[in-house]
Amino acid sequence: MRNKILILLFCIILILLSSCERTEEEKMSYIYDVEPIFISSCVLCHTAGHYSNLDLSSYNGLMAGESLNGPVIKAYYPDLSLLFEKIVAEQPSIGSPMPLGGSALTGTEIQVIELWIFDGAKNN
Ligand code: HEC
């Protein structure tokens, strides 16, 4: 009897642990998930004072809202964020698709940025 209860408890703990993991996976971190994408594909052109005055080398730069066409991230709304539009659309409403002249971001990279904006574009 005691063994059965222990096994049951063990199973409940396992189920709780695995569901926690799933929510963690959907939450993206700026530092660990998003910034590395900008560093490898964007900061070549987008540092302070460079193209469109958009600085993608830091969270503060990204969120400053001082680039040519104003804020590029609208927290919680990937579809209303110019930055997201420019990495997914073949013909964005403003200028060219990004990264300019390079190959498009991978599906996974796009999804990371989308989920991060969707979760509030936090400095996490
Ligand atoms: C080879 C240089 C280059 C690279 C690499 C590059 N960009 Fe750009 N970016 C530009 C230029 C030039 C413009 C201005 C023309 C335009 O909007 O198409 C621009 C404009 C933008 C704008 C519009 C800013 C505004 O306010 O109008 C966004 C957003 C943007 N880039 C995001 C990115 C992202 C995200 C990456 C990386 C995935 C990236 N760019 C990589 C050159 C680059």
The per-residue pLDDT of the chain, averaged, comes to 89
Ligand 1 close to Cβ of residue 64 (< 6 A): no
* pTM of the predicted protein model: 0.86
Phi, psi values for residue 29, rounded to 5°: -100, 140
The whole-number pLDDT of residue 26 equals: 74
Reduce the secondary structure of the chain to three states and give it as a string.
Answer: CHHHHHHHHHHHHHHHHHHHHHHHHHCCCHHHHHHHHHHHHCCCCCCCCCHHHCCCCCHHHHHCCCCCCCCCCCCCCHHHCHHHHHHHCCCCCCCCCCCCCCCCCCHHHHHHHHHHHHCCCCCC
* Atom of ligand 1 at shortest range from CA of 44: 5
* Atom of ligand 1 at shortest range from CA of 69: 26
Ligand 1 close to Cβ of residue 19 (< 6 A): no
Ligand 1 close to Cβ of residue 99 (< 6 A): yes
> Quick check: 5 pLDDT over 90?
no
| pLDDT tens digits, 35-73 | 999 999 999 999 999 999 999 999 999 999 999 999 999
Ligand 1 close to Cβ of residue 67 (< 6 A): yes
The whole-number pLDDT of residue 92 equals: 98
| pLDDT tens digits, 104-120 | 999 999 999 999 999 99
Q: Which of 52, 93, 96 to mutate to test the pocket of ligand 1 (most atoms within 8 A of CB)?
A: 52
15 CA distance to ligand 1 middle (Å): 44
The whole-number pLDDT of residue 9 equals: 54
